[in-house]
A and B are shown apart, each in its own frame.
Chain A
Amino acid sequence: MTTTVPTAAALALGDDALVLSHRLGEWAGHAPVLEEEVALANIALDLLGQARVLLSTVGDEDELAYLREERAFRNLQLVEQPNGDFAHTIVRQLYFSAYQHLLYSQLAAGDGPFAGLAAKAVKEVAYHRDHAGQWTLRLGDGTDASHERMVRACTALWRFTGEMFQPVDGLDVDWAGMDTAWLESVEAVLRRATLPLPEGPRSGAWSAGAGRQGVHTEPFGRMLAEMQHLHRSHPGASW
């Protein structure tokens, strides 16, 4: 494939994967059960692998990850949201993996510059979606306490889901069709998990421009401060 890689698109997809991977990495040593230490790290590693491929197509992966300022990142606000409790992490995974699966399926089916990466990644993402779906069922239909936590998490993150379907330059996909398919798939999982579909708006004034335009939420700056500190403390060093 000789098509040139559209920078905005590579950054959007790469930053989503990079940032979510980082958040999942924060769980290490804190997961509720040993099997989830393995699973969350596995998902984080898949995403980090995707991020490295994507960022490397448009520059040096480390310069892009460690030397950009917050406003230059193009990830969705959803993926930068703090882990919260396990319910929040699972709902963030549910929302994002459903989106990423639809997006990568379309990219894999096309002949654009991301078709190869998407074809490989979509298999990984199918597992991420399944993992999130299984936990949504257990937590939604588990105990009253877990159900309550899931309702809160679904509602809290709902307002970050509209942004996912704003078209990204360079990605030739059916955004409106994906939005509809996403809503159907998430609604189906929530219904099986006895969870109500959140009622609030999926985007609004708070997300004006949003992550794809480099407008992020407050916790993101702190995340980057931690992530970039060591690299920036030794300019020019190699590791």
Chain B
Amino acid sequence: MATAAAHKAYGTEEEHAGTAAYERAFDAAVAADGRIEPRDWMPDAYRATLVRQMAQHAHSEIIGMQPEANWITRAPSLRRKAILMAKVQDEAGHGLYLYSAAETLGTSREELLDKLHSGRQKYSSIFNYPTLTWADVGAIGWLVDGAAITNQVPLCRCSYGPYARAMVRICKEESFHQRQGYELLLALSRGTPEQHAMAQDAVDRWWWPSLMMFGPPDDESAHSAQSMTWKIKRHSNDDLRQRFVDICVPQAESLGLTLPDPDLKWNEERGHYDFGPIDWTEFKEVLKGNGPCNEQRLTQRRKAHEEGAWVREAAAAYAAKHSDDTKAEQA
């Protein structure tokens, strides 16, 4: 909060010409691929865009814990259980970095969580799909984390310093998760016929939702153009989606699994794989709240938060008492 207030006060005290000079400096820094840091002047809309995007990213990490945590207690071997627990823990850690990075823009974690719980901020729609079998844990790792990395690697060069630095660490861990997911699916694909079928079924269900993770087509993407200018975003939705498809097709072949798209074929001329049309009606429905698990995910999140209120209150009360003790000792 203090940072935002300080920026405001600083800005309003300046002449109009002064603000324009700040704006020119900001634009020049961004154009030169420089980094904007928390204490630098930045346009209000830039700040708001970053808060929206980083919050949505942080929320996705903590909501994304749910579909995978769904399988921790049923993981079929102790090795897999350890990998899955570590992965879900990493996601909590990513949530922590991202909420902290968002705090550098003058917002608090409480404020952002409140917006998540009241539906005013979103999280990635992919987590509104259910994890129905053990193979879904592998499909999420391979496809969902794979798509996330494709989206997120360019963010390591994002113009806002704290976000870019958080993403460097997050991408390293995500790429580990992606390989673990691939390896899980490979074990199933090469396992018993039942295990192979389980893996294929999971890939069939997660493929299209994963392609939707790149957002609407470029001509319908609301925030894309401005974010590209600000270098928060580096590549268009459709370019990233194509890059992801091109990576996945040979990987699916190595896995011995098929992707559920009859139109998928190599296009020599384009140097890319062509793929079939995406069902944007489904995408919009899930975004509106009508996906298979929207209600369930948000309800569980609110429940955990509400049931934990007494714990947070106790910690705050203890800290307050403790600080009084310290003051009394010093007096």
Contact = CB atoms under 8 A, between A and B. Distances in A.
The dominant DSSP class at the A interface is helix
B268 interface: no
Contacts of A142: 313-318
Interface string B76-111: 111111100110110011011001000000000100
Contacts of A141: 318, 321
Interface in A40-65: 41-42, 44-45, 48-49, 51-52, 55, 61-62, 65
A144 to B, nearest CB: 9
B312 interface: yes
Nearest to B86: A45
A58 to B, nearest CB: 14
Contact of A227 (B74, B188, B315, B321): B74
Which of B73, B303, B319 has the most CB atoms of chain A within a 10 A radius of its CB? B73
B195 interface: yes
A42 B134 CA distance: 23
Interface stretch (B3-11, B30-38, B44-52, B64-72): B64-72
A33 B316 CA distance: 12
A227 B76 CA distance: 8
A25 B85 contact: yes
Nearest to A236: B192
A120 interface: no
Nearest to B133: A230
A31 interface: yes
Contacts of B314: 138-139, 142-143, 145-146
Nearest to B95: A34
A29 interface: yes
B304 A229 contact: no
A146 B310 contact: yes
B126 to A, nearest CB: 16
A41 B88 contact: yes
A115 interface: no
Contacts of B93: 38
B45 to A, nearest CB: 29
Nearest to A142: B314
B13 interface: no
Interface residues of A, number: 49
Contacts of B88: 28-29, 41
Given A25-B73, A143-B317, A31 B304 contact: yes
Which of A30, A31, A41, A236 has the most CB atoms of chain B within a 10 A radius of its CB? A41
B191 A32 contact: no
Nearest to A61: B78
Which of B99, B109, B308 has the most CB atoms of chain A within a 10 A radius of its CB? B308
Contact of A231 (B76, B86, B95): B76
B85 A28 contact: yes
A32 B311 contact: yes
Given A29-B66, A239-B77, A143 B89 contact: no
Contacts of B195: 234, 237
A137 interface: yes
Interface string B23-35: 0000000000000
24 contacts: A18-B78, A28-B72, A29-B66, A29-B304, A30-B307, A32-B308, A32-B311, A34-B92, A35-B96, A37-B89, A38-B89, A45-B89, A48-B81, A48-B85, A55-B78, A61-B78, A62-B78, A86-B308, A142-B317, A143-B314, A145-B310, A146-B317, A230-B76, A237-B195
Interface of B: 62, 65-66, 69, 72-82, 85-86, 88-89, 92-93, 95-96, 99, 109, 134, 187-188, 191-192, 194-195, 300, 303-305, 307-319, 321
Interface of A: 18, 22, 25-26, 28-38, 41-42, 44-45, 48-49, 51-52, 55, 61-62, 65-66, 85-86, 137-139, 141-143, 145-146, 149, 226-227, 229-231, 234, 236-239
Which 7 residue pairs of A and B lie closest in terms of their CB atoms, listed nearest first? A32-B308, A142-B314, A146-B314, A41-B89, A37-B92, A28-B69, A32-B311
